[in-house]
Amino acid sequence: MKVYTEYLKFHTRKHRDYIHITPQVEGIVKKSGVKEGMVLVSAMHITAGIYVNDNESGLIEDIDKWLEGLAPFKRDYKHHETGEDNGDSHLKALLIHHEVIVPITAGRLDFGMWQRIFYAEFDGQREKRVIVKVMGE
Amino acid sequence: MKVYTEYLKFHTRKHRDYIHITPQVEGIVKKSGVKEGMVLVSAMHITAGIYVNDNESGLIEDIDKWLEGLAPFKRDYKHHETGEDNGDSHLKALLIHHEVIVPITAGRLDFGMWQRIFYAEFDGQREKRVIVKVMGE
Amino acid sequence: MKVYTEYLKFHTRKHRDYIHITPQVEGIVKKSGVKEGMVLVSAMHITAGIYVNDNESGLIEDIDKWLEGLAPFKRDYKHHETGEDNGDSHLKALLIHHEVIVPITAGRLDFGMWQRIFYAEFDGQREKRVIVKVMGE
């Protein structure tokens, strides 16, 4: 059994951003030598998420607007009594979820035709990390 | 260590549908011979999801109505500029999530009494697939 | 390859509650002897969830209020025709998701600085269980 780990780093220019990371994850799976197994891709922050969906710019705008509608920026979150102003970033991260686990078959991500992995930043403009851990044989 | 993979196929008659797949997943786990480990059940599409909850028809109606409320069908999604009309299907899939990972103990799904696995179709009436990958020993 | 399983038990005093369980999960990972791998933490009920976010009491209040807004208690869920009155608890559990999978590196949860694991109870005041299954080597 093999376990192989790498970390991706992000520092977005925008407060919210959606970054396509399938090529990086594929590269890590290749380096791992795992032919059959799974890869965990997990944000190491509480204001960022990982999701799988389409790499289409219009849809990404829709997702961003939808998240803002369901988990809006507001002044009056209780969390802000700590001095923070990112209550909405936490809720957006909970909605989109912070990790995915992707199957590996014959050394490749076993995805459908349109599935792509995204890093979703909800409180950017600073250093963030994602762990990619491959497990299998 | 064993890794065993099968694919389930769906072609729903309805645009949206919720299909109970616990028996199929249990059958695949049995075939795999894995006694201790995990099984990943993951939709291979960006307009479908997998979730675990109750197999009760009233609740399934509630879930469908709730998803339509939070991620409604609308004409004016940006994604529709590509010619698609299924922006809401993507958002519903993100909300329900596209995969679950279920523990296997003593050769069986280690579930609580009411937990059941569902395939959630949000853009049906065509060929769709779900990967079921068992890992363990 | 090692697989190690324990179960956590909960019986909350409140109908809804959010319980920090990182120390318990860390203890189980240590007992497992797994140095490299993953740990699955999964609610065994359809009205409870597991999530990863900040251990900050204001934020927890925000999360609770936000979930009640998006998946409110209501009389008229179809599910209530079975005699139940917890339709909202199911929807809250679907929104927050019922499981997380956490990477293990060098024998420890490989988390970012603020990540903590929570058990989210949406229909409490009775016996509930969470499975913690460690896999790796």
Instruction: Report the 10 Å Cβ neighbour count for A47.
Output: 25
State mean pLDDT over A82-93: 97
Q: Do A62 and B97 touch (CB under 8 A)?
A: no
The answer to whether A102 touches C80, Cβ cutoff 8 Å, is: no
Q: Do C59 and A78 touch (CB under 8 A)?
A: yes
Q: Do C38 and A40 touch (CB under 8 A)?
A: yes
Give the pLDDT of residue C10: 98
Which candidate, C58, C35, C47, C18, places its Cα nearest to that of C110? C35
Q: How big is the CA angle at C60 (ends C24 and A74), to the nearest 5 degrees?
A: 150
Give the pLDDT of residue C99: 98
What is the per-residue pLDDT across B73-114, written as a single tens digit (0 to 9) for each? 999 999 999 999 999 999 999 999 999 999 999 999 999 999
Window 25-44 of C, Cβ < 8 Å to A: 36-38
Nearest to C101 among A70, A90, A99 (CB): A99
Q: Do C77 and B59 touch (CB under 8 A)?
A: yes
State mean pLDDT over A47-51: 98
Give the pLDDT of residue A115: 98
C-alpha span between A42 and A50 (Å, rounded): 6
Residues of A in Cβ contact (< 8 Å) with C61: 78
Instruction: Return mean pLDDT, chain B.
Output: 98
Query: Cβ contacts of residue A105 below 8 Å, gap of 6+?
Result: A36, B5, B131, B133
Handedness of CA A68, C93, C89, B71 (dihedral sign): positive
What is the per-residue pLDDT across B26-76, written as a single tens digit (0 to 9) for each? 999 999 999 999 999 999 999 999 999 999 999 999 999 999 999 999 999
Q: Is C64 helix (H, G, I), strand (E, B) or coil?
A: helix
Residues of B in Cβ contact (< 8 Å) with A137: 1, 3
Question: What residue in B sits closest to C47 (Cα-Cα)?
Answer: B53
Answer whether B6 touches A (CB < 8 Å). no
Structure ipTM:
0.97
Query: Cβ contacts of residue C65 below 8 Å, gap of 6+?
Result: none
State mean pLDDT over B1-29: 98
State mean pLDDT over B105-132: 98
Average pLDDT, consecutive stretches of 10 residues, N- to C-terminus, chain C (137 residues): 97 98 98 98 98 98 98 97 97 98 98 98 98 98
What is the per-residue pLDDT across A91-136, written as a single tens digit (0 to 9) for each? 999 999 999 999 999 999 999 999 999 999 999 999 999 999 999 9
Q: Do A36 and B70 touch (CB under 8 A)?
A: no
With both helix axes pointing from N to C terminus, report the angle between C57-70 and C87-96 in degrees, rounded to the nearest 10.
120
